[in-house]
């Protein structure tokens, strides 16, 4: 059996305005999430939504809507602020953020949250221990085989992704990108140098198709997308928020990356995503959540 994990990152990040905003959060809660759920229901798909604690606290009804539709509600940290990225925090700070976010989400859905994805996929050597101490069992913050070409913040630390296992694995106690006996299941985001994600799908459908071809046949495809990619936003300023004082990093990870990321949002993005879903449906992939994948793996090891 082959599995397709459609994983959505839910936050208040605006694509067109390149910043965090509650206006974007309102758009996600009132439009993007309903659009996503309607689309997933059309294809009878169960997926995993990684939600920030901040978003959940602001829009609890949106979180309930996702859960009540039968999808897995997972944790995307508490905040998506650059200053609070997990690769910038020590162990105690990470534990605090994880527990704060998980408690908010669990109070809303009255169910256990066991899956985590770091905002911007940024982690460090403390993240595994923080996950273990906070009661998480699954991580999806590694994009095995992906090379960011210095177009994202923290890209130098992400070079280790090139050497991470391509399929699922239990991590070591020291590094998320290595196998070991930590008990934390890593479900890597699918990549082959270039990631197979919603952003690439929209920037260049042709490149996404080529990457898809090279990863076809893997036991799992983990396709990352943001619900905000499926709706239109209005631009409120021509200014691009600066997240780094380094002028080269600003040019690459803010200016250039922003211009690329706003292609084919809204209805064009929906149509492109539907093509991916139809493709893997026709290839016989089973659409499951991260939590379900862990159950399947445990069943294998006990039979």
CATH number at residue 252: 3.20.20.370
Structural domain boundaries enclosing 26? 3-302
Query: Is pLDDT above 70 for 303?
Result: no
- Calculate the average pLDDT of the chain: 91
Model confidence band, residue 243 (pLDDT cutoffs 50, 70, 90): low
pLDDT of amino acid 289: 98
Using an 8 Å Cβ cutoff, are 218 and 190 in contact?
yes
Number of domains in the chain: 1
Model confidence band, residue 17 (pLDDT cutoffs 50, 70, 90): confident
Alpha helices by DSSP H, listed for 110-232, are 127-133, 198-203, 205-215
What are the residues facing 223 on neighbouring strands?
Answer: 6
Query: Is pLDDT above 90 for 120?
Result: yes
pLDDT of amino acid 245: 59
CA 127 to mean position of chain CA atoms: 16
Task: Report d(CA 68, CA 140) in Å as an integer.
Answer: 23
Alpha helices by DSSP H, listed for 70-197, are 91-109, 127-133
What pTM did the predictor assign? 0.91
Average pLDDT, stretch 51-56?
98
Question: What is the DSSP code (8-state) at residue 2?
Answer: -
The sign of the torsion formed by the CA atoms of 232, 235, 241, 247 equals positive
Task: Report d(CA 105, CA 68) in Å as an integer.
Answer: 14
CA 252 to mean position of chain CA atoms: 21
Task: Report d(CA 44, CA 33) in Å as an integer.
Answer: 16
Closest CA to 205 of 112, 134, 273: 273
Query: Is pLDDT above 60 for 247?
Result: no
pLDDT of amino acid 283: 95
pLDDT of amino acid 65: 98
Using an 8 Å Cβ cutoff, are 186 and 169 in contact?
yes
pLDDT of amino acid 240: 54
Average pLDDT, stretch 42-60?
97
Position with higher pLDDT, 148 vs 298? 298
pLDDT of amino acid 153: 57
Position with higher pLDDT, 117 vs 247? 117
Query: Is pLDDT above 90 for 300?
Result: no
Using an 8 Å Cβ cutoff, are 54 and 296 in contact?
no
């Amino acid at each position: 059996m082959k599995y397709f994990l459609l994983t959505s990152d839910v936050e208040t990040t605006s694509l067109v305005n390149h910043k965090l905003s509650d206006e974007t959060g309102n758009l996600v809660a009132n439009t993007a999430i309903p659009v996503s759920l309607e689309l997933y229901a059309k294809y009878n798909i169960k997926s995993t939504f990684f939600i920030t604690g901040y978003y959940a606290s602001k829009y609890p009804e949106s979180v309930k809507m996702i859960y009540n539709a039968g999808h897995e509600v997972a944790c995307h940290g508490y905040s998506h602020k650059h200053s609070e990225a997990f690769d910038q925090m020590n162990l105690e700070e990470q534990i605090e953020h994880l527990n704060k976010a998980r408690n908010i989400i669990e109070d809303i859905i009255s169910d256990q949250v066991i899956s985590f994805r770091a905002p911007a996929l940024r982690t460090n050597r403390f993240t595994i221990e923080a996950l273990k101490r906070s009661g998480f069992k699954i991580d999806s913050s590694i994009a095995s085989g992906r090379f960011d070409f210095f177009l994202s913040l923290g890209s130098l630390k992400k070079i280790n992704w090139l050497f991470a296992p391509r399929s699922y694995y239990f991590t070591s106690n020291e590094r998320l990108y290595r196998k070991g006996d930590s008990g934390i299941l890593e479900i890597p985001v699918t990549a082959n140098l270039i990631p197979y994600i919603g952003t690439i799908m929209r920037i260049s459908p042709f490149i996404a198709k080529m990457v898809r071809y090279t990863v076809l046949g893997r036991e799992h495809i983990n396709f990352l997308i943001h619900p905000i990619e499926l709706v239109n936003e209005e631009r409120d300023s021509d200014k691009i928020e600066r997240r780094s004082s380094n002028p080269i990093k600003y040019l690459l990870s803010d200016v250039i990356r922003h211009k690329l990321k706003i292609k084919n949002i809204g209805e064009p993005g929906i149509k492109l995503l539907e093509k991916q879903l139809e493709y893997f449906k026709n290839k016989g992939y089973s659409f499951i959540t991260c939590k379900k994948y862990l159950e399947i793996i445990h069943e294998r090891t006990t039979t």
